[in-house]
Amino acid sequence: MRPNENKLARLVETERWVAWVRLGGVAFAIFEVGLFSVDYPPGYESAAWTITGLFTAGSIALFVLARRGSLRLAPTLSAAALLFDTAIVSAYAIVYSYEYGSPTRWALIVVVVEAGLRYGLVGGLGLPLLLVPFFVFIEWWRAHKFGPPGFRSDRVTFPVGILALTGTIIGRLVDRLDREAALAGSRAAEAERLRDELGRRVDLLEAANRCARALGSSLELEQAFGAFIRELRGLVPFDRTTIVLVENNHAEVMATAGAGADTVFPPGTVRGVEGSVLEETMAGRTVVRRDMRDPAYPEEEALLDLGLQSRLAAPLLLGARPIGMLSIQRFAVDAFSPDEIELSSLLGRLVATAVQNIRSYEAERATVEELRRLSALRADFVSLVSHELRSPMAAVVGAARTLQERWRELTPEHRQSFLELIGSETSRLAGLIADVLDTSRIEAGTFSYAFSDVDLARLVEESVAAATVGQDEVRVRASVRRPMPSVRGDRERLRQVLSNLIDNAVKYSSAGDDVEVSAAAEDGAVVVSVSDQGPGISREQQRLIFEKFGRAKVAGKAKPGTGLGLFIARSIAEAHGGSLDVRSTPRRGATFRLSLPLS
């Protein structure tokens, strides 16, 4: 209740109980006039009863009006009641002025108390001063009509002084009461405001808590955003909402719901940040577009076509770093309240935190899966190397013991075949150990190169010629488009790459198949392609074969090997500023392409 209303309410309450006191005064007046007043001058008794009658009628009327308690009429009723009481008491004082020393005039102290109660210090002090002429008149009337004694000034100053002191005390107390009441009222209003604010804050926190639980309900972004949007609909009603994440100055729509969710900027849409509202939100500012009928950003035209006319865009803040935007749109103009704007800003922080947590989990999960995969590859490698070492070692040991124990019994041809077997298996062991050592050096960054100008055409022909030595089941043919410029590189390392590619092609080819090795200059680079007619490589395994210990699983074509050759080959190609990739379809062969920049 406002201070003015407080005063009006106090006036109404004052008039109600003063009305009861006034009725008591009527009874007292009748009692005094009828029993204790004697020896009236002619006409004075009838005047006293007339005043009593008026007093009775006025008291009843004022009682009825006071009981209605109208705040609007309270000031008028209060002034009229004070004037009435003053007039009645003054009339009694004039009537009983024939008695020298009559106490009737002192009844005006009741009127002064009333004035103080109604109007505070102004009424309590002002009314006695206004009564000074009356006291002068009544003293003159007494002295003139019923003297001696004559006019006595102390019979004016003394009662006025007493009344003024009494009115001052009452008025001061009432003013203080009003101030205390106003202060209490303001404090109560402030307490009520703080209570409402606290309640609003609690509601915001509860709403944020529900959204946080929704975001934490899944470790998949799409599912978490879906649960969040379902919760958001009950907190900040929307006609359309969108969650956008920004990375490398490109914005991707992660989730959307409401009008045009599947047609206008659906999930997966990628757009630039420049010129859009994201420029504002990525600066950490909440943007409120109260009326989009005058578009300020390019995307608003599409939203207007859906009938949406107002928009709230809150940044997704991860600490102080914006990572995206939560956008809420409505059909109505100027449809967002301050509480909704504040809540949306808070929700933006929650969404950003959830995104960070989910991404961290995904990164940790990917790391764990990668470590598991590498652990499995290492285990397979240990098993594979053990097998690869055991087979040639067994062959070498067996051949050596046979030569040692049966040297004299063996013919020269048998001896030669055993020696060739020992040489072949020893070379195989040396190659396996060389691959392991090369891999270790590549990982340690100590794999050395000796760069010079290399005639790649001649190197290709030499590698093809070497591949035909010792096998005649698979035809290996070279096709070099001359003239071919030289490249800058390490000749032996490049030979190692070509030998690996050609040996793999031969290994996975069937008898009678052809392996084509071509070389040509293309777009500032020399490209060497090695194509076979083998079983091919599935798309899922095309990345695996270039990793350490990675080997393609080909049905019916299990071949010995460590899974390090292509890893080493790609590392050498990249060290030369080039690349090595594969193009293959299952059952249709594979083509490995080595691309090296020209000198």
**CATH for 518:** 3.30.565.10
* CB atoms closer than 10 angstroms to residue 100: 13
Structure tokens at 66: 């006071």
The DSSP call for residue 202 is H
Q: How many domains are there within the chain?
A: 3
Beta bridge partners of 530: 517, 592
Residue 213 lies in a domain: no
In a shared domain, residues 138 and 271: no
pLDDT tens for the chain, residues 1 to 599? 455 677 778 788 888 889 999 999 999 999 888 876 667 888 888 999 999 999 999 999 999 988 887 778 888 888 999 999 999 999 998 988 888 778 888 889 999 999 998 888 999 999 999 999 999 999 898 888 887 888 889 889 999 999 999 999 999 998 898 888 888 878 888 888 888 877 766 766 676 677 777 766 666 777 777 777 877 777 788 899 888 888 888 888 888 888 888 888 888 888 888 888 888 888 888 989 999 888 888 888 888 888 999 999 989 888 888 888 888 999 999 888 888 888 788 888 888 887 777 777 778 888 888 788 777 766 666 666 665 666 677 777 877 888 777 877 778 887 788 787 787 778 777 777 777 777 777 777 788 888 898 888 888 888 888 888 767 788 888 888 888 888 899 988 898 899 888 888 888 888 888 899 999 988 888 999 999 988 888 887 888 888 877 777 665 455 666 677 888 888 999 988 899 999 888 888 889 999 999 86
Residue 552 lies in a domain: yes
Average pLDDT value over all residues in the chain: 83
For 403-428, the pLDDT digits (tens) are 777 877 778 887 788 787 787 778 77
In a shared domain, residues 458 and 526: yes
DSSP-H helix ranges across 69-107: 74-95
In a shared domain, residues 137 and 240: no
Cis amide linkage into residue 148, ω under 30° from 0: yes
Residue 316 lies in a domain: yes
Q: Which amino acid is at 283?
A: A
Q: Is the whole model's pTM more than 0.85, yes or no?
A: no
In a shared domain, residues 129 and 233: no
Residue 282 lies in a domain: yes
Cis amide linkage into residue 149, ω under 30° from 0: yes
Residue 422 lies in a domain: no
- Find out whether 62 and 14 touch, Cβ atoms under 8 Å: no
Which residue, of 364, 384, 402, is where some domain finishes?
364
For 258-316, the pLDDT digits (tens) are 888 888 888 888 888 888 888 888 888 898 999 988 888 888 888 888 899 999 998 98
Residue 333 lies in a domain: yes
In a shared domain, residues 165 and 298: no
Structure tokens at 432: 């396996």
Closest to 456 measured CA to CA, from 431, 430, 481: 481
In a shared domain, residues 346 and 483: no
Contacts of 195 (CB under 8 A, 6+ apart): none
Residue 475 lies in a domain: yes
CATH number, domain with residue 305: 3.30.450.40
Which residue, of 313, 347, 364, is where some domain finishes?
364
In a shared domain, residues 171 and 263: no
* Distance from C-alpha of 486 to C-alpha of 598, rounded to nearest angstrom: 7
Residue 216 lies in a domain: no
In a shared domain, residues 241 and 181: no
Domain containing 45 equals 3-188
DSSP 113-139: HHHHHHHHHHHHHHHHHHTHHHHHHHH
In a shared domain, residues 228 and 109: no
In a shared domain, residues 149 and 285: no
In a shared domain, residues 129 and 260: no
b/e per residue 335-360 (b: at least 16 CB within 10 A):
bbeeebbebbbbbbbbbbbbbeebee
In a shared domain, residues 176 and 226: no
Q: What pLDDT score was predicted for residue 533?
A: 86
The DSSP call for residue 541 is G
Which residue, of 167, 188, 209, is where some domain finishes?
188
Closest to 82 measured CA to CA, from 183, 154, 11: 11
